[in-house]
Structure 1
Amino acid sequence: MMKYSTSPTPNYPRSTSPLPAPANYQPTTASAAVKRYKYLRRLFKFNQMDFEFAAWQMVYLFVSPQKVFRNFNYRKHTKSQFARDDPAFLVLLSVFLFLSSVCFALKLGLTWSQLSLFVLFVVFVDFIGAGILVSTIFWYVSNRYLRRESSPDVEWGYAFDVHINAFFPPLSLLHCFQILLFSNLLVHSGFLSCFVSNSFWLASIVYYLYISFLGYSNLPMLQNTRIFLLPLPLLFLAYLGTLAAGWNLSHMLMDFYHYRVL
């Protein structure tokens, strides 16, 4: 008669994923350093990256972000980690950011030297630097205040994945869609320009907070993840305040960019 293993299972709530764990599933034993090494090693092996799937994720981050995080659950079942092991999304996002920043700089009328400096600032400071900082803060808060007792830690790589997922819709709205209206509408003063501009910013921040909430609520070891949505009422009040004061956030951003590359 066949004997079945009776090894104990980890003592934390089951994932909400409808996908069953395969028979050969084992909890991850690889350290964070090993995972990071494997991830960085694949960063320059473009033939091993699934860019088609990364593009699919970008589309669904706009229309149905819940589907993107279902794939993270599937990866946990099959590869014993929530974080991406394929850097295709990061590479594709970096290329998209580079191209959108070049278009943005040309729209601002920057010189070629200013354009180069602008792109370096956007990629290495606004994206990579700020991304590492924000991911580390969310990772610390999640493990320190939201993690259930006796549950495994949240992976830092997963926190970074949540950040870049949440970063893509604001990037598209502020660097692409908004710039299409810049010459005809946003460059002018007046209430309509302020309303459209600040509405873009409101939608961008709401997207970021909502996708961050989805990402952390997807983890079975966390609780009270609704705190990521708590800033929304204050955000809406701030939005109304900018309209009442006539503060055009896009104009302020343009002035900041010009000041930074001078």
Structure 2
Amino acid sequence: MLPTTSRGRTPSNVRPAPIFAQYLRRIVKWRQMDIEYTFWQMLHLCTSPKVVYQHTRYHKQTKNQWARDDPAFVVIFCLFLIVATSAYCVAYGETCVHAIYTIISVVSLHFLLAGILIATCCWFLTNSYLREETPNSHVVEQRVEWLYAFDVHCNSFFPTFILLYVVQYFVSPVLVAHGFFPVLLSNLLFMVAISYYHYLNFLGYDVLPFLDKLLSSYIQLASSLSSHH
């Protein structure tokens, strides 16, 4: 039996360019997006996120890739961000020009650019330091797909969005007041949102069977990031 991979060659299950190109092409094809499944994922990310990553395993078995091939989650998430940011701008009397600037900043910088940077760092660290070495040349080498790392960020950021953009909006009359309770409530919202983000980020990489010593490495990484902040 001939080996499926060799040193110096790209593994057969890694096809970043075609997958990413197909993903981008489907962004403008609304009818091809699975909207119902996207809303199902968003609901379960807030209630039972492990179920979402169980379906990620099924996706790998049927599509031979961990990442989503449907950009519906990102498109709908961006629409939610636009609506939520617009609500804040209306509530706090922003001018039209400043509102447009704020909406573009939230979608492009807070979500997309930050997600690209975080996904790239996690993609590099997991592939460089956390992958198990293949025992022999007959086993197909597996790597974390960059698009999957971006999916993990999107999944982790959605409950954070619910807490810091939706819930915070409705309790904002309390948060803008002076006193101990508004400060406590605001910090509590941020603490829960950041903790849940890290938890979902861990679940996203924990589902990958070829990553080794993930828990201890992620705890060290999270603690180092927290100490810097």
Indicate the TM-score class for this superposition, using the shorter chain for normalisation: 0.7 to 0.9
Counterpart AA for 1:195 = L
Q: Which has the higher contact order (CA 8 A, sep 6+)?
A: 2
Gaps of 5+ in 1: 1-5, 11-26, 240-262
Counterpart AA for 2:159 = P
Structure-2 residue corresponding to 1:198: 187
Structure-2 residue corresponding to 1:211: 200
Give 4+ residue runs of structure 1 displaced > 3 Å after superposition.
6-10, 27-30, 229-235
Aligned length: 216
Q: 2:57 aligns with which of 48, 73, 83?
A: 73
Q: TM-score, normalised by structure 1?
A: 0.77
Mapped contact 2:60–2:66 kept (Cα < 8 A): yes
Structure-2 residue corresponding to 1:160: 150
Query: Which segment drifts farther, 222-231 or 74-83?
Result: 222-231
Larger Rg: 1
Deviation, 1:67, is 0.6
Deviation, 1:8, is 7.9
Counterpart AA for 2:132 = R
Structure-2 residue corresponding to 1:58: 42
Structure-1 residue corresponding to 2:18: 34
Q: 2: distance between equivalents of 1:182 and 1:144?
A: 43
Q: Let me know the Cα RMSD of the aligned residues.
A: 2.4
Post-superposition Cα deviations, 1:23-78, rounded to whole Å, max 9, x if no partner, equal xxxx9646200000111111111111110100000000011000111111111101
Q: What pairs up with 1:1-262 in 2 under 5 angstroms?
A: 29=13, 31-150=15-134, 151-183=141-173, 185-226=174-215, 227-230=217-220, 231=222
Deviation, 1:125, is 0.9
Deviation, 1:121, is 0.5
Q: 2: distance between equivalents of 1:28 and 1:73?
A: 19
Percent of aligned pairs with the same residue?
Answer: 39
Q: 1: distance between equivalents of 2:119 and 2:206?
A: 15
Gaps of 5+ in 2: 6-10, 135-140
Deviation, 1:238, is 11
Q: 1: distance between equivalents of 2:153 and 2:169?
A: 23
Post-superposition Cα deviations, 1:179-204, rounded to whole Å, max 9, x if no partner, equal 10111x10012110011000000010
After superposition, the Cα gap between the structure-2 partners of 1:91 and 1:28, relative to the gap in structure 1 and judged at 3 Å, is: farther
Mapped contact 1:186–1:196 kept (Cα < 8 A): yes
Mapped contact 1:65–1:211 kept (Cα < 8 A): yes
